[in-house]
Structure 1
Amino acid sequence: MSGPEEDVSGEAASFGRCNSSSGSSSSADAASASLPVAEDPCSFASPPFFPSLSSSSALMSSALSASLPPASGAASLEGFGTGGSVPASPSPHFWSRPNPSGTSPGPRAAHSCDVIGTKMFIFGGWNGKFALNDLFILDVQSLRWTRVEQDGCSPPEARNNHTTAAVGDRIFVHGGHDGTQWLADLHVLDTTPAHMGRHRGLSWSSPPVSGRRPSARACHSFTRVNEKLYMFGGYDGANCFQDIDILDLDTMAWIQPAVTGEKPQARNAHTMTVVDRKLVLFGGHSGNTHLTDLHVFDTATLTWTKPEISGSPPPGLRGHTANLIGHKIFLFGGYDGKRRTNEIYILDTKARAWVVVSNAACSAVCDNAPPSGRQRHSAALVSNRKLFVFGGFDGNKWLNDLHVLDASRFEEDALNDSAVRQLVENLRSLVNCPDFADVVLVVEGREIHAHKNILAANCAYFKQMFLGSMLESKQSKVVIPGWSYDAYIAMIEFLYTGKLNETRTDVVCEVMGLADHYTLFTLKSYSENVLTALVDTDTVCPLLKSAETYQARNLKRFCLDFVFRHADQIMNTPAFDELEAIPSLVMEIAKMSLLKSRKGGGGSGAGSDSGGVDNEQKRETSSSR
C-alpha cells in the first residue's frame, strides 16, 4: 500500500452505520482506492474503489423553517406530490465537541452505530490495518464510554462494511467483509443488560431464518419499517445490486417481493431513509460513477417512484450519512471523488426541495468549528435534538473524534430568520413611502420620501446632516446634486434593508461612488462584488476607470488581471485607449506588463488556474490506481 487512501480501501472498511430503535435511515459507502483490485474487496476494474457502509437509521433534525415536533415520529411524504421551495440561505448550524470519560473506541471508519434509548452502540469497522469486532457503548446522558468485554458471548467475526438495524432492544447485523471474504451471515445483539446498567452479559446469537437468503455483500442498506427489515443494494466484489430483500421479523423469513415501477440503478454507498412507510433512496456509487438521483420506495404498494425535486442536489456522494426529523432529511459528509465534505444538505420532503447549509458562518458563531470533512463516519440522533457524529476517514487518517450538532438551535435560528425576513420586508415597504416620512430628498428633480431616523441610524453622513448645524437639518426638502435618481434610490433601499438589488453596470458603478462618498463600506464592498461578476471584454476598461476613481481596490485588482489575461482582445480597443487619461493607471499597467515579461509572459488567470486543477485531478487519479 502506498498511501492512506489505499489503506482505507484496503479490506473493505465498513462505513459507519447509525440506527435508532424508533426509526431508520441507512447509508453505504464505496470510496476510491489505490489498491490493486485483487486486494480491494470493493474494487471495480476501472476505477477501483473500496466500499464503506455509511450510517443508517438514526433520526436527525432540521427545524429550519418550522418548529421541531415533540417527538420524531414518522413524517408524511405528501410533499412528494406538491412541490415547493426552501430558502436558499439557511441559518448556520451549531456544533460542539464533548470530551467523554471512559475508554473510547480507537480510530476507525466503516463501523456501525446504533442508538437504543440513551445508549449508542459502536461495533466493528476498519482502523487502517485490519477489520474490527469490538463493541463500545456511549451513555449519551453521562457522556461516558465503556468497552464491552465479549468473552464467552461469541461475537461475530471482525468485519466492516456490514449493515445494521435496531429493533427494540436488539441490533441486527448483516454481511460486510472480514478482510478476505464477503459475508452473508446474520447476527443479533441483545442489548437488554446495557439498559439495566450492566455491560457484561450482552449476548450475540445467529437466529434461524427461512426463505432464500440474500447473497454475500457489503455496502448495502438494512432499513426497518414496522416489523420488516428492507435490504437494498450493495456489492459482492463483482456486481452491485438493485433488488429488495425483506426479512419478516414475525416469521424470520426472507422474502423477495415483486416490485413495480422503475427500479433505481444498481448501486452501493447510498443512503436509505424512512419517511412514513416510504424509503427515500439517495446517491451512492454504481461502480462507474457517483449518483445524484433520488427514488422513493413505497413499502405498502411495493412501488418505486422518482419524484421531481427542486433546488441544487448534493454532489454524487458516498460515505455520507442521512438522518430524519420532522419532514426533513439531513445529509452530512461523504466523498464525491474529489474531496471529503463537511457540508450539510437538507431535503425538505414536503417542499420537495434541496438546500445546502454552509459552514462558512459557523466558525464565527459556534463554540466549536464543524467536524472536518470526512466519509464513512457515523451519525446518530439522540432525543430528537442532538446529532452525534463519530469517527470516519478524512483522507489522511482514521478518526475517533466525537462532535454534536444541537438541532434544537435550528428552531431558534429559524424563528430568528423569519423575524428578520419580515422586518426587512417591512422596512422595504417604507422606501419612498410618504407615510410617516419626515424628509424629502430631491434627485434629478424627482422626490424620494425618507425617514431621518432610519437614514441617520445607518449612515454617519446623514446623522451629521440632520443633527448638526448644516442647513439641511432644518429643511423638509433636501436637493441632492450630482447623482442619478436610480443610483440614489438603490442606495436608500440598501440603508433600509441591507440589500443591493440593482444589477445594471452603470447604476452599480454609481452606487459604488455613492458608497465611497458617504463612507458606506459594506455597500461599497457589495457593489464591487456585483461589478466583478459583470466584468467582460466590453466592460473591463470602464470598470477599471471607476475602480481607480473610487479606490475600489478589489475590483481594480480583478480588472487588471482580466486585462492581462485577455490582452489580445482588449489592448487595441478605443476603451483601452481612453485609459491614457488616467496616468496612474497607465503607469500601473506598464509596471505589471514589465513584471510579467520578466517572468516569461503569460497571464495569471484562466490558464494557470486550470493547470492547477488539472494537476490536482492527476494526483487524485494516480492515487486511485
Structure 2
Amino acid sequence: MSNPLNQLSNSPSQISTENSIEINNPENENIEKINSNSNTNLEIINEKIRFKKTTNWKEIQTTGEIPLVTNYHTSAVINNYMWVFGGFQRGHGTRDLSCLNLNTFEWREIKYNTFLEKTRRNANIGWPSARYHHACTVANNNLFIFGGLDGKKYYNDLWKFDPETEGFEKLSDNIGPCGRDCHSLVNYKNKLYVFGGVQDKNKLLNDLWEYNLETNEWVELNPLGEKPCPRHFHTGVVIGSFMYVFGGSNGQVRLNDHFIYEFETNTWISIANSKGKIPQTRRNHTAVVKDEKIYICAGYGKAPLNDLYVYNTDTNYWSLIKDEPTFSPRHYHTSVIWENKMILFGGWNGRQLQDLHVYSIQEKPLIIEKNVIKNDMKTLFEKQEDCDINITAKDGFIGAHLCIIQARLNNWNEIKNRGDEEIAITFENYFANQPLSTIKILMIFIYTDEIELEKLTQNQIIDLIVISSNIGLSRLKAICENHIISSISKENVIDILLFAEKIKSKTLHSVCLSFVSKNKEVISEHGTSLTKLSQETLIELFKTTTSNSPIEIPEIEVPKSTFFQNLSALQSEIDSHNAIEVAICAHKAILMAHSKSFGQEIFSEQNGPEIYADKTQRSVYALRALVKFLYSGRIDHIQSNPEIALELLGAVSDYELSTYELENVCSNIVKRSVNLNNTLFILERSYETNSVDLKNYLIRFLLNHKQQVFNLPSFSSVSNVSLLHEVIKELISRIN
C-alpha cells in the first residue's frame, strides 16, 4: 500500500558502584535554620530590593470615535480591522457597530441609520436590533452574529455582516436554536456551531446546533460521549478539527472544566487529566487561539480577574503567564488575535472600561512542559547505573556520568586549571573537602536544574554558593543568594555579613548593611561577633547606622535555565562529527535515563556513539527527532510532519518511554492530518503504536464517515483482523 501521509510531509566502560552511598536525604545537622518568617526582613526586601519586572503587555492610546458602550459586547478581527458590535448600557442593549484600524489604532463608527435608509426595500437586508450577551464568529471574511438579549427578549436570529459593504443580512430567524444569550459560536469548515447559553433567565442549555452556510439550514446535533453540563458565560474556540469549551457557570457555581467536541466524529470528550497550573473557576472570561495554544484571559472568579493562562493543546498542559498586566481586573470584556498579538478591549469592574491593551505573544519552540525529562535524569543519577566517573567527597564518594557533567559545566576545562599548575585538579577529586550530602544536592541540580531549598540547612546553602561560584553555575549561585536574602533575620544577619565578606558578595554585603541600619539593636546584641568583621565593613556599618540615606542594593537576577540548551548542544557537538547518513550520534547514559532497553539495544556492536536506523526499525528522520526530543525536550520540528509523529508513537511503545506528553503531542499531530483518503492507513499503523487515544479517534472518525470510508477501494485491502473486529464491535455498540 502506498503511503498516504507522503502528501502531507516534507521529511527528509562501566565503573562498579557497589560501595556507593545510597541517595537519601542526609540527617539534619544540628544547625539553626534561617528564620524565613521575619516581618522586619519582609519590610527590608520589599522596600529595598527592586527586581526588574518585564512584561509583554502594553496599553494602547486609541484615537477617533471610541465606542460609547464597551461591555457585554462582541469583537472580531477581519483582515486588519477589529469590529465591535452591541453591548449593555442602562438596562438595555445597543446596536452600535465600530471599527478599529489595527495599524493606526483609530476608531470609526458605522452609522446604521444611513445604511438602513439605503436598503429599506430589501426585507433580508437590515441591521440587528439592540442586544448584549450575543456571540460572534468569522467565516469567509464575514462576521456572523447570533442570539443575545435585550431586556426581556431572547433572540435566535442569525446575521451576516460584510465588511466590504458595511451592511448586515439576516440569514435566519425563529428557526433552529431557541433564543438564548451567554452562549458560544464558532466556525468549522463553512458551518457555524452554537453551544449552550441560557434561555428565559433560569433555563441553562447544553445543546449543540449546526448551521450550514451553503444550504442555510439548521440541524440539532446529537453527539456521542460525555456532554458538558448546561452552562453559560463559557468560551468556545476551534483548533484543527476540535472545539474546546472551557469554564462558565452552571447557574450555581463557576466552572473550570474543559471539554473537546470532535467535529469529524461528532463526539464530546471530557479533558480530566490536564497538567500544570489550571485556571481557577471563572465566567465572563475570554479565550483566543494562537499556534495550537488557547489563551484564557481575566473574567470573574470570586472577584474580577486580570490573569492570563495558556493551554497547550498538544501537551495538555496549563501555564500561568507571569507577565505583569497593564490592565485592571475585569469581566465582560473581549479579546481577539491579530498577527502575533492578543488585543483586550473594554469590560466591567463596577464601572464601564474603555481601555485597550495588547499582549505580544512570544514565538517559542514547542517544549514538553512536564518535567518528564528532568525526572528521568534524576532517576538516572539516583540509580547510580552506567556511571563512568566517581566523585570523591569528604565522607564518601558517588558516581556520575561524564557526558552530563560536560554538558552542564561547559567551562570545566578552564575551571580545573585555575589552581596550582603542579596539582592536577580533576572533577573526581575537586570536592574532596565537601560533605557528601552537599555534593548530592549539587549533582541533582546538575542533572535536573532544580533544587529544593526549603529542605536544606543554612550551611548547605552557603556551601552551594561557594561551590557554584567556583565551578561557574551562576544560576544556582543566584538562586541560593536570593534565598539567603529572603531569609535574613536579626539572629543571622552578622553571620551572613561575615560570609559575604568571605566570598566577596557585594549584594549580600549591601543587603546585610541595610538590614542592620533598620534594626540598630543588632549591633548591641551581636557585640562579640562584630569583632570578626573587617575594618572596612565596620566603618561601613558605622556610617550606615548614623545615616538616613538608603543604601543602593544591586539586583540579583537569576539567569534563565540553560538545561535543555546544554544537553542539546552536547548532542549537536557529538553528531557534528558523524559522517554516516543512516546513523545519529548520542550518549548511551542519556538514552538509558529514558529507557534502559533503548540505551542498551540500539548502539552499534563497537559501543560507539552511533545509533543505526536499521537497528531501530525507524527512519533516520524519526530517529533524529526522537533523540532531539530526549536531549532538548523540543518537538516543534515534527509539528508539520505527521509521518514522523506516527513513527515516534511507535518508538514510545517499543522502548516504553515514560513520556505521556510526547505521545499526546504526536497523537494530536496525526489527528490533524486525518482525512478520508488516509484514515485506514493510519488506523492500521496505529495498531503498531499501542496508542489507544489515536486508535479510538480513528475508529470514531471512520464510523462517523462510514458510508464514504466503506466504499473506498482501500477498505477491501485491510488485512488487520483485530482492527476489523473493533470497528464492527463499535458499530454494533452505536446501533444498540
What TM-score range do you get, normalising by the shorter chain?
A: 0.5 to 0.7
Q: Which has the higher contact order (CA 8 A, sep 6+)?
A: 1
| 1:289 maps to 2:253 | yes
SS of equivalent residue, structure 1 residue 237: coil
In structure 2, relative to structure 1, the CA distance for the partners of 1:403 and 1:189 (3 Å cut) is: same
- Which one of the candidate residues 346, 351, 354 is aligned to 1:391? 346
Distance 2:271 2:98 in 1: 39
Alignment of 1:137-176 (within 5 A): 137-154=99-116, 155-176=127-148
User: Which amino acid counterpart does residue 185 of structure 2 have in structure 1?
Assistant: F
Identify the residue that residue 318 of structure 2 maps to in structure 1: 355
Identify the residue that residue 251 of structure 1 maps to in structure 2: 215
User: Which amino acid counterpart does residue 389 of structure 1 have in structure 2?
Assistant: L
User: Which amino acid counterpart does residue 261 of structure 2 have in structure 1?
Assistant: F
Quick check: 319-328 or 262-271, which moved more? Answer: 319-328
Identify the residue that residue 511 of structure 1 maps to in structure 2: 460
Distance 1:447 1:303 in 2: 54
Structure 1 residue 252, shift from structure 2 partner:
2.6
User: Which amino acid counterpart does residue 476 of structure 1 have in structure 2?
Assistant: I
The normalised TM-score by structure 1 is 0.56
How many pairs are equivalent?
A: 424
Identify the residue that residue 329 of structure 1 maps to in structure 2: 294
Contact 1:346–1:356 (CA under 8 A) maintained in structure 2: yes
In structure 2, relative to structure 1, the CA distance for the partners of 1:127 and 1:347 (3 Å cut) is: farther
- Which one of the candidate residues 374, 379, 383 is aligned to 2:330? 374
The structure where helix makes up a greater share of residues is 2
Distance 2:270 2:343 in 1: 31
1:55-74 CA deviation, whole Å, 9 max, x = no partner?
xxxxxxxxxxxxxx9xxxxx
Structure 1 residue 513, shift from structure 2 partner:
3.2
Distance 1:405 1:157 in 2: 33
Identify the residue that residue 97 of structure 2 maps to in structure 1: 135
Contact 2:185–2:195 (CA under 8 A) maintained in structure 1: yes
Identify the residue that residue 226 of structure 1 maps to in structure 2: 189
Distance 1:255 1:517 in 2: 70
The normalised TM-score by structure 2 is 0.48
- Which one of the candidate residues 348, 356, 374 is aligned to 1:402? 356
Alignment of 1:197-596 (within 5 A): 202-208=166-172, 211=175, 213-235=176-198, 236-312=200-276, 313-348=278-313, 350-351=314-315, 353-359=316-322, 362-363=323-324, 369-383=325-339, 385-393=340-348, 395-407=349-361, 409-411=362-364, 443-444=394-395, 446=397, 474=423, 476=425, 483-491=434-442, 499-501=449-451, 505=455, 508-515=457-464, 526=479
1:512-557 CA deviation, whole Å, 9 max, x = no partner?
2315667969757745998999x9xxxxxxx99889865799xxxx
In structure 2, relative to structure 1, the CA distance for the partners of 1:481 and 1:192 (3 Å cut) is: closer
| 1:94 maps to 2:56 | yes
Structure 1 residue 127, shift from structure 2 partner:
4.9
Contact 1:182–1:218 (CA under 8 A) maintained in structure 2: no
In structure 2, relative to structure 1, the CA distance for the partners of 1:209 and 1:508 (3 Å cut) is: same
In structure 2, relative to structure 1, the CA distance for the partners of 1:446 and 1:248 (3 Å cut) is: closer
1:90-110 CA deviation, whole Å, 9 max, x = no partner?
xx9733333343222246221
Contact 2:196–2:204 (CA under 8 A) maintained in structure 1: yes
Structure 1 residue 269, shift from structure 2 partner:
0.9
In structure 2, relative to structure 1, the CA distance for the partners of 1:345 and 1:127 (3 Å cut) is: farther
User: Which amino acid counterpart does residue 388 of structure 1 have in structure 2?
Assistant: I
Distance 1:287 1:330 in 2: 24
User: Which amino acid counterpart does residue 258 of structure 2 have in structure 1?
Assistant: L
Distance 1:257 1:516 in 2: 63
In structure 2, relative to structure 1, the CA distance for the partners of 1:550 and 1:498 (3 Å cut) is: farther
Quick check: 477-486 or 298-307, which moved more? Answer: 477-486
Distance 1:111 1:126 in 2: 7
User: Which amino acid counterpart does residue 296 of structure 1 have in structure 2?
Assistant: I
User: Which amino acid counterpart does residue 215 of structure 1 have in structure 2?
Assistant: C
Distance 2:291 2:333 in 1: 23
In structure 2, relative to structure 1, the CA distance for the partners of 1:493 and 1:216 (3 Å cut) is: closer
User: Which amino acid counterpart does residue 154 of structure 2 have in structure 1?
Assistant: L
Distance 1:107 1:518 in 2: 61
SS of equivalent residue, structure 2 residue 254: coil
Distance 1:234 1:226 in 2: 23
1:173-228 CA deviation, whole Å, 9 max, x = no partner?
222222x21321425243243xxxxxxx52233335574x3222210112222232
Distance 2:480 2:153 in 1: 59
Contact 2:160–2:170 (CA under 8 A) maintained in structure 1: no
Identify the residue that residue 61 of structure 1 maps to in structure 2: none
The root-mean-square deviation of aligned C-alpha atoms, in Å, is 4.9
Structure 1 residue 453, shift from structure 2 partner:
14
Structure 1 residue 307, shift from structure 2 partner:
3.7
SS of equivalent residue, structure 1 residue 513: helix
Contact 1:487–1:508 (CA under 8 A) maintained in structure 2: no
Distance 1:277 1:452 in 2: 45
Structure 1 residue 504, shift from structure 2 partner:
8.7
SS of equivalent residue, structure 1 residue 291: strand
Distance 2:93 2:342 in 1: 26
Structure 1 residue 162, shift from structure 2 partner:
1.0
SS of equivalent residue, structure 1 residue 104: coil
Distance 1:476 1:277 in 2: 60
Gaps of 5+ in 1: 1-68, 70-91, 194-200, 364-368, 536-542, 554-582, 586-625
Distance 2:208 2:147 in 1: 15
Structure 1 residue 164, shift from structure 2 partner:
1.7
Structure 1 residue 147, shift from structure 2 partner:
1.3
1:355-382 CA deviation, whole Å, 9 max, x = no partner?
21332xx34xxxxx54333222211112
Distance 2:410 2:423 in 1: 15
SS of equivalent residue, structure 2 residue 203: coil
Identify the residue that residue 152 of structure 2 maps to in structure 1: 181
User: Which amino acid counterpart does residue 103 of structure 1 have in structure 2?
Assistant: E
Distance 2:261 2:355 in 1: 34
Structure 1 residue 286, shift from structure 2 partner:
0.2
Structure 1 residue 241, shift from structure 2 partner:
0.6
User: Which amino acid counterpart does residue 485 of structure 1 have in structure 2?
Assistant: L
Contact 2:391–2:397 (CA under 8 A) maintained in structure 1: no
SS of equivalent residue, structure 2 residue 192: strand
Contact 1:210–1:253 (CA under 8 A) maintained in structure 2: no
